[in-house]
Structure 1
Amino acid sequence: MAALPIYRWRLAPDGLATRRQLRSLGLRPGGQDVVAQLERPRRRRGPLVAYLYLVDRALPVRPMTVGRTAALAKANAARRWCPACRRDAGYVIPASLGMCTPCAYPDEQRVA
């Protein structure tokens, strides 16, 4: 397999875009292979890498259907549900806690 061309930050040629850039244009990679890499240097760790795709081979983003909208709403509602007290927390429960704030810190809630 041939190595991918590597471009420095902000120096990629026209006609190439990252996934986010494609999405802002209303496009998606559409199954095409990565054609190049974009590297942004960092001081303490290795460079940040973004993959580039051809804009002219990108496909339009698929529209949201009724079923996909319902599934997304159900998934977002599940992220608000506390497994400890079995209530809707009213916000997305942090993954670091795994439960709503009153359940995670019961002593601090009594003091207030």
Structure 2
Amino acid sequence: MRSPDLDQLADRTGIRVEFYDPAGTRYGFPTFPYESAPSGLATRRQLRAAGLRPGGHDPVAQILWRHRSQRRVAYLYRLDLAAPKRTATPAQREAIAKALRARRTCRTCGVVRPYYIPRRTGCCLDCHEGSPS
């Protein structure tokens, strides 16, 4: 999982890239700098965009970078071990639709609104405007 470009940079200029540790000796885990991950590895977000999930496998490497004064990390998973994303069953979709419909139903007048009922009032905007506050 070594990067020839980053290896040559250190050999050629003597500059060591801070977050480049493909053997995992410095950070305890194979580490790569931002936008320098080897092919065949992807973050969770990249897997999700491709319709995949880690499939129960642990990350095999990480990307480290600095953002302002914080050190950020993104874990990398192997693409060949990734599994397709699971899809919801019809019963699960029906339960989700029912829950979302309940969030749009006013408890006072019982009308299903095109917006979610505010939780702080517990009723639709029409009912709330008519009640004394």
Pairing partner for 2:46 from 21, 32, 40:
21
**Pair 88,27 (structure 1): closer, same or farther in 2 beyond 3 Å:** same
CA contact (8 A) 1:89 1:100 kept: no
TM-score by length of 2: 0.57
Number of residues of Structure 1 aligned to a counterpart in Structure 2:
103
Query: Which protein has the larger Cα radius of gyration, Structure 1 or Structure 2?
Result: 2
Between 1:6-15 and 1:86-95, the stretch displaced more is 86-95
When the two chains are superposed, the root-mean-square deviation of aligned CA atoms in Å is 3.3
Pairing partner for 1:68 from 76, 92, 106:
92
Paired AA for residue 62 in structure 1: R
Identity %: 46
Give distance in 1, aligned partners of 2:118 and 2:55: 33
Higher relative contact order (CA 8 A, sep 6+): 1
TM-score by length of 1: 0.65
Unaligned runs of 5+ in 1: 107-112
Q: Using the TM superposition, give the Cα deviation of residue 99 of structure 1 relative to its aligned residue in structure 2, in angstroms.
A: 5.8
Paired AA for residue 51 in structure 1: Y
Unaligned runs of 5+ in 2: 1-26
Q: Using the TM superposition, give the Cα deviation of residue 15 of structure 1 relative to its aligned residue in structure 2, in angstroms.
A: 0.6
